[in-house]
Structure 1
């Protein structure tokens, strides 16, 4: 009976992969073209992320992305219309259920459209920061990765917090310039877990977890590690987990990934996530907390909030490398 169940499950997974592959619709912009291994694409998945689009495109254009691809998962706000104002972007649509199929959507897009390229896959509220000696630009990072045959680079999300603004002033993304220094937990990389099977992991690359949400909900499990930069080739399997890939040779350093999750109405975001199917205990606890408290209230009562310094963060993340 177990064999029959296993076969059925495998056939169902193949069906979902095929369904996902043909669920993509090209909405806007150029289709992917071949680039050299000295260049990189940026990819993100969006749904009602209008407040992040402008800073996202401007940041990654300045960072040197050859092109930016947006996978829209059913936005009802002006996200897509804002994206279409830019020239170096493309939009694809896929309406599969995000909570159930987010990894499949991402993995399928990369395999179908961008195989053979360096890809930086980040959320719309994440800014990837080159930092450290010899890796302070994307050109230097890619050169280093290519030279040593690395196929992925780990990053650690840093929950960015707001400074206090004058009463009556609207808060801007630039006002999010603080972080809670002692909110990151560092433990050994989870070698042996199925979702990171086959990864070659250098000494000094660890598992990073915790963050502000862990402080709010101590019983929750929050990975801060991600593998956003990957070369799509060989045996690598992207998005075996929202934060991991498999069969990758990881670089020997970790970079900061500034996470602007708390910009905007965080209570509304969590409520919308619950309505769309994110009904885990974690989301329910956060929903209860942020329905009563602002992120500014959290900042006001903790003592270890300091200005963001990406160089200092890099040193902290790589101190045992």
Structure 2
């Protein structure tokens, strides 16, 4: 009996693989390596390079490995890119998710975890945002994820499939043991980008928008440590295995930090002053996204272990230094 992890060579997916292997689970990773890294996959996991929309491949892997649960991370995640290329995002995030859900139903997989996003809420008027808030994404990225949530809801009503959709707020940090982290050089996540600036990988840091209706005019976000998020997924699998009902759950700590507060934290923890430039707003960025995080604690019994901004930043910085060492060793 195995868990299939799509996108398991990527940032969050590789941490989920670590958590599953640490828990003694059999894992098969499916990743096309367009955004992931083969070296990021734990050696105890079976790895297959391929597309999560390839239904024939999916059927073969489910049968071959005895897959009983699917954890779906594969997809495109850059909000501004989705505004420029909406059809690409609907294809990669929605059409391929439909193929994966179909393969699960056709091949008897009963449990499904979906990597959703707080972007489904759009420019929410409530803060913190509960799962019952109005769903009004302001980017094709958010809409592409919400459409997959709808497909799961409707499929679960028609077939013996139960699911948990986890709506991520801002994921950051890295494995405390430095086994994995955010490795893409083109990443747009604030803590990643600020950490790159702190270790000299970027000449400066851009702040996109300073006129938002927030205390200091910059966007406000709820940052969740990637290892806490991975553990939430493991608990969600346990919930389904124990007969738990399908659920939609926010993943965050329930507290927000502004862009400027995060930059100050990175400077404080790293001890490095780096240039910061003010830039216009990016398309598709809501002013504030802070999780209403009561439901995940109640349903899954989840308790964060890394709810501290400086600790998240410290792990992200340690990972950037590990990447620098990896690059130097390869030269």
Superposition TM-score, scaled by structure 1 size: 0.36
Structure with the bigger percentage of helix: 2
Under a length normalisation based on structure 2, what TM-score does the superposition of the two structures give?
Answer: 0.35
